[in-house]
Structure 1
Amino acid sequence: MTGFARADGSGHGHVWTFEIKSVNGRNLDLRCRVAPGFDALEPVVKAVVPQRLRRGNVNVTLTVTRTGTGGELRINRPLLDRLIALGNELGGVAEKPRLDALLAVRGVVETIEDTDLGDAREAVEAAMAVTLNETLDRLTAARFAEGDRLVRVLTEHLDEIARLTEQASRCASLQPEAIRHKLRAQVAALLDAIPSLTEDRLAQEAALLITRADVREELDRLRAHIAAARDMLSKGGAIGRQLDFLCQEFNREANTLCSKSADVELTRTGLSLKAAIEQLREQAQNIE
């Protein structure tokens, strides 16, 4: 499920921000990037996030800024020496650079942030953990809002599957008679071509074909799957994996129905059923 959340915190001369981005994914893929000097927060993130989220590609970012006087200034001597040497080499064709120009070159003057919090580090990291949970609360709220919208979409797909299942049931009720009618013509042709075949033998084969073409069990299982999916949606919770598996069972029954079909209309309904099931499966992969 998709979502974005952000929360800020501050204390002991530092301001920090947690940002969490989440996009759809079959499993939980967690990536974490924390500010330098605060690596101890990464194990906290990796422990807390899986307790709140089950699926999705999740990116967590912690940025920290020091307030007050800022960090210590430091001259990047290797870079400054290279610039001076280059200026000396070009001395014959260009004016030697002034010191203020050299110091203005990006990277010559560096700001070194002091991340040594001393005795306050434990308190700051605990406060950061609180901010992390606030961010997760906001992300969870956003994902719940999206989930409410997805429930309506999933319900519409289930309604379409239910409608097509009943349509297939009406077609299937005519299927045995269609098979018998077709077999009568085939039996007559066979008896004319091969007189040695007995009618009893042909009747047995016809009965076997009709039994194999019976799709009532598949239709009953489809109805059971529809009821199970509606029950999942009504209960809520982390049902994404269960619904994804149920979609595979939906598809299995629809495939069997199409393979057994001896009626053009039933086959068309079965194909429409497969399309509706695929739409349900695509949405099921978006929920936790």
Structure 2
Amino acid sequence: MTASMTSFARVESSQDWGTLVWEIRTVNHRYLEPHFRLPDNMREIEPRLRDLLRKNLSRGKVECSLKITRSEGNSQINLNQALLHELNGALEAIGEIVSKAKRADALDILRWPGVLEQAETDIGLIHNDAVDAFENALKQVQESREREGAELKQFIVQRLEGIGKETAVVRKFMPDLLKAQREKITQRLSDAKVEIDQNRLEQELVFLAQKADVEEELDRLETHINEVTRVLNTKGAVGRRLDFLMQELNREANTLGSKAVGVEVTQSAVNLKVLIEQMREQVQNIE
């Protein structure tokens, strides 16, 4: 299924210990590039989160942020008594050696890492809740990407139909254009009253007709149209393949324009390039 690389999801989960909020934003990128903003005590689950991303997404820049709020019943503050005794002993030792050393006040001591201890729920439980909520957010991201991908697919299909119509127009006009070109050259030679070997003239006219013939380019355009249609209906990541096909379509349109022998073909070549460019811009956002 065609999926976009642009999406956003927000999931809030309330538990006995508090609440957590996941926000996931995804934008187009050549590869899968995840970025996590997690509280320090959640860093342990980051490998699990990255593994979930790799299993569900193939491309895109993905920004994931987690916010945790503890409930009042789980935010009781305790003092690390053992560490306080150690700090006090160290301060007394410093005072005996350095007579003018200032004693630290209570706030300074509270700022010392580890002095304040928060009565915490089992951190493993919070980790599991965070992973579960992340899976829910990731599911929302996928659903959103698939919805937008379906719209992008329809957009591309419409442009493919337009390309098909333009190739049909060129096929319709080419025989008359080649005939008119042949008659124009013959008439100019006749008006100039230039004597020329008829066999040589015929060879040159055939050569010019071959140079102006765009049958091969039209065939390749139709082949690429069929391939784009097939890829759009393929499961998995198809963005890179579609991007390559856009380049091939553009190549054929350029060749068609360079061989144009009439205003009708020139206009069709311009229309083709517009349609292909419109598709190319949208393909950049397909996973």
Whether the 8 Å contact between 1:8 and 1:15 is mirrored in structure 2 is yes
Q: 2:143 aligns with which of 127, 131, 141?
A: 141
Distance (Å, rounded) in 2 between the aligned partners of 1:27 and 1:188: 63
Secondary structure at the aligned position of 2:42 is classed as: coil
% identical equivalent positions: 35
> Does residue 218 in structure 1 map to residue 217 in structure 2?
yes
Structure 1 123/183 Cα, relative in aligned 2: closer, same or farther at 3 Å? same
Deviation at 1:259, TM superposition (A): 0.8
| Matched residue type, 1:253 | E
Secondary structure at the aligned position of 1:4 is classed as: strand
- The TM-score, its normalising length taken from structure 2, stands at 0.76
> Does residue 35 in structure 1 map to residue 39 in structure 2?
yes
Secondary structure at the aligned position of 2:11 is classed as: strand
Deviation at 1:14, TM superposition (A): 4.3
Deviation at 1:242, TM superposition (A): 1.4
Residue ranges of structure 1 left out of the alignment (5+ in a row): 75-102
| Matched residue type, 2:163 | I
Deviation at 1:240, TM superposition (A): 1.6
> Does residue 269 in structure 1 map to residue 274 in structure 2?
no
Residue matched to 1:84? none
Distance (Å, rounded) in 2 between the aligned partners of 1:113 and 1:209: 88
Residue matched to 1:173? 175
Count of residues in correspondence between the two structures: 249
Structure 1 169/26 Cα, relative in aligned 2: closer, same or farther at 3 Å? farther
Distance (Å, rounded) in 2 between the aligned partners of 1:137 and 1:116: 29
| Matched residue type, 1:121 | I
Where do residues 148-167 of structure 1 align in structure 2 (5 Å cutoff)? 148-167=150-169
Deviation at 1:227, TM superposition (A): 1.5
Stretch of structure 1 that moved more, 120-129 or 263-272:
120-129
Distance (Å, rounded) in 1 between the aligned partners of 2:12 and 2:217: 55
Whether the 8 Å contact between 1:12 and 1:124 is mirrored in structure 2 is no
Whether the 8 Å contact between 1:70 and 1:113 is mirrored in structure 2 is no
Distance (Å, rounded) in 2 between the aligned partners of 1:255 and 1:150: 25
Whether the 8 Å contact between 1:33 and 1:42 is mirrored in structure 2 is no
Distance (Å, rounded) in 2 between the aligned partners of 1:115 and 1:286: 46
Secondary structure at the aligned position of 1:29 is classed as: strand
Distance (Å, rounded) in 2 between the aligned partners of 1:139 and 1:247: 27
Distance (Å, rounded) in 1 between the aligned partners of 2:22 and 2:127: 13
Residue matched to 2:58? 54
Q: Deviations over 1:172-215 (max 9, x none)?
A: 232321221232134446763xx5x6443333222112112111
Where do residues 188-227 of structure 1 align in structure 2 (5 Å cutoff)? 188=190, 192=194, 198-227=197-226
Distance (Å, rounded) in 1 between the aligned partners of 2:77 and 2:188: 95
Structure 1 134/51 Cα, relative in aligned 2: closer, same or farther at 3 Å? same
Distance (Å, rounded) in 1 between the aligned partners of 2:119 and 2:75: 11
Whether the 8 Å contact between 2:75 and 2:119 is mirrored in structure 1 is no
Stretch of structure 1 that moved more, 145-154 or 227-236:
227-236
Distance (Å, rounded) in 2 between the aligned partners of 1:142 and 1:113: 42
Q: What do you get for the CA RMSD once the two structures are aligned?
A: 2.8
Structure 1 72/262 Cα, relative in aligned 2: closer, same or farther at 3 Å? same
> Does residue 20 in structure 1 map to residue 24 in structure 2?
yes
Whether the 8 Å contact between 2:17 and 2:70 is mirrored in structure 1 is yes
> Does residue 232 in structure 1 map to residue 243 in structure 2?
no
Distance (Å, rounded) in 1 between the aligned partners of 2:283 and 2:204: 43
Residue matched to 1:96? none
Distance (Å, rounded) in 2 between the aligned partners of 1:250 and 1:71: 66
Deviation at 1:12, TM superposition (A): 7.1
Whether the 8 Å contact between 1:178 and 1:263 is mirrored in structure 2 is no
Where do residues 75-90 of structure 1 align in structure 2 (5 Å cutoff)? none
Residue matched to 1:260? 259
Q: 2:75 aligns with which of 66, 70, 73?
A: 70
Residue ranges of structure 2 left out of the alignment (5+ in a row): 80-106
- The TM-score, its normalising length taken from structure 1, stands at 0.76
Structure 1 273/222 Cα, relative in aligned 2: closer, same or farther at 3 Å? same
Distance (Å, rounded) in 2 between the aligned partners of 1:123 and 1:204: 85
Deviation at 1:233, TM superposition (A): 2.5
Whether the 8 Å contact between 2:75 and 2:120 is mirrored in structure 1 is no
Structure 1 13/271 Cα, relative in aligned 2: closer, same or farther at 3 Å? same
Secondary structure at the aligned position of 1:40 is classed as: helix
> Does residue 5 in structure 1 map to residue 9 in structure 2?
yes
